[in-house]
Amino acid sequence: MLKTETPSVRHAQLDQYADADLVGAFVDDQLQAVHAVRRAAPEISAAIAAAVPRLQAGGRLLYVGAGTSGRLGVLDSVELYPTFSWPHERAVALLAGGAGAMFQAVEGAEDNAEQGAEDIKAVTPGPHDVVFLLAASGGTPYVLGALAAARQAGALTIGIANNRDAPVAMRADIGITLDTGEEVISGSTRLKAGTSQKIALNTISSALMVRLHKVYGNLMVDLQATNAKLVQRAVRLTMHATGVDEATARATLEQCRYHVKTAIVALLNGQTPEQAEAVLAQAGGSVRAALASDRTN
């Protein structure tokens, strides 16, 4: 029996716990998700190293999963644009059962390997694309079908599972096993198995964005200021990075169409927004390199 399906001997009387003990059991068990991701750090690092050159060459991030795993893939994909200005078309999530399965379970969809293969083929993966195959059990047919098709197309495949020796991890180019063990509620992989996948995806996609110069220091300088909260965040980030007052930061951001990267370079290099944009382009989008380039010229 898969460890994710094995009843926990620690909580055999869960339904009789007092409220405080019930909360403690769930919260304490989540800590195992962190430990599982930490143990998989070498494989996660290898995935990041393999993915960066492909994305630099124009590749996409493709996510494939079913149920909770698939929904976590969707979540990771949709958050990349507002956080890092990562283009929508370069973060594509495929969920067994289609988009409607994000809100209502589509029973049996995960058992269709052929549909998984067809769905991934429909987005025409190529050698520069990076495909995340997510399955807590590690043997979901829909995901395995997509994995086979993605490998045949030459894409980099990264399999993420919560059981050792799982097919999705063994057959992928890079396998990441998040060994979270038995769940507090037997078989409910929306618990710590899901938490570990969320942590792993956060770690991988965020690290990729750092490597792709979406971050300066630890500041998210490539965000999309699409609402009042994010406009104010852009102002604060610009102030923090440059030391200017709020009025100067806001005025410069307005001239730079609220692109924080451009505003930082313009302020610190003493350049116009157009000059700052050009220097950033020459530096491959790296704020640090754009600033260093100005000092050497």
* Other Cβ atoms closer than 10 A to 77: 23
Cα(148)–Cα(159) distance, integer angstroms: 11
Distance of CA 266 to the CA centre of its chain: 30
Clarify whether 110 is annotated catalytic.
yes
Give the CA distances from residue 106 to residues 29, 185, 286, in Å, rounded to whole numbers and listed in that order.
Answer: 28, 22, 43
C-alpha span between 216 and 268 (Å, rounded): 13
Rounded Cα distance between 17 and 180, Å, is: 23
* Backbone φ and ψ of 148, nearest 5°: -60, -45
From the list 110, 182, 183, 277, the catalytic residue is: 110
CA angle 248, 253, 259 (to 5 degrees): 150
Under DSSP, the state recorded for 78 is H
Phi, psi angles (nearest 5°) of residue 216: -120, 120
Q: Whose structure tokens read 């964005």?
A: 209
Catalytic positions are: 79, 110
